Amino acid sequence: MAAPRKSAKTAAAETAAKTVKTTEKKAEPKKVETKKAETAKAAEVKAEETKAAEAPKKEVKPAAKKTTAKAAAKEPQAKVVFQFAGKEVAAKEVLAAAEKAYAEAHKGVEIKTIELYVVAEENAAYYVVNGEADPEFKVML
C-alpha cells in the first residue's frame, strides 16, 4: 500500500517541528559553554577578591615603619657637659663654636663630618673636619 499523501500544511508543520528540535539540541551545548564561562568568571572574581584582600596587608607594613620613625623621634634629650678647673662647658656649644670657626676659615666648604676632641689640660677642643686635621683647628674653652 502506498502511503497517504500529506497536505502541504502538515509537511510544513513537520519541517518546523524538526527545526525546533534541531535548534533545541544545538542550544543545549551552548548552555554547557555558558556554565563553563560563568565558572571561569567566578574563578576570576575570586582571584580578584583574594588580591584585594592581600593588598591591605601590604599597606600595613609601611605604616609600621612610620611608627618606628616616630618612636625614634621620641628618644630622650641628651646633654653633655664638661666640668674641669671650676668651669662648666656644654659639648653642644663647643661643637657649634668649632663648626663656626671652620666655616669662617674655609668659606664654601661643606662640613660632611666633624669630630671633636676636648683636652681639658689645654683648656681647648680640637676638631677634625671631613677627615682633615690641622693643629690650627682648635677652639678655646
- Amino acid in the structure at residue 52: A
Lowest mean pLDDT among 4-13, 25-34, 47-56, 131-140: 25-34
Q: Are residues 44 and 62 in the same domain?
A: yes
**Of the candidates 35, 55, 74, which is a domain's last residue?**
74
In sequence order, the 6+-apart residues with CB closer than 8 A to the CB of 84 are 120
Q: Are residues 37 and 93 in the same domain?
A: no
- Does 43 reside within a domain? yes
- Does 112 reside within a domain? yes
> Residue 31: which domain range?
10-74
Give the span between the Cα atoms of 126 and 135, in whole angstroms.
Answer: 8
Q: How far is CA 119 from CA 36, 125, 129, in A?
A: 85, 6, 17
pTM: 0.46
Summarize pLDDT for 7-49 with one digit per residue, the tens. Answer: 555 555 565 555 555 555 555 555 555 566 666 666 666 666 6
Give the count of domains, the chain.
2
- Does 5 reside within a domain? no
Long-range pairs, 93-97, Cβ under 8 A, ≥24: 94/118, 94/125, 94/139, 94/141, 97/125, 97/139
Edge-to-edge strand list for the sheet holding 138-140:
114-119, 124-129, 138-140
**Of the candidates 39, 55, 74, which is a domain's last residue?**
74
Q: Are residues 51 and 15 in the same domain?
A: yes
Query: What is the chain's Cα-based Rg?
Result: 45
**Under 8 Å between Cβ of 141 and 123:** yes
Summarize pLDDT for 88-129 with one digit per residue, the tens. Answer: 999 999 999 999 999 999 998 999 999 999 999 999 999 999
**Of the candidates 47, 74, 101, which is a domain's last residue?**
74
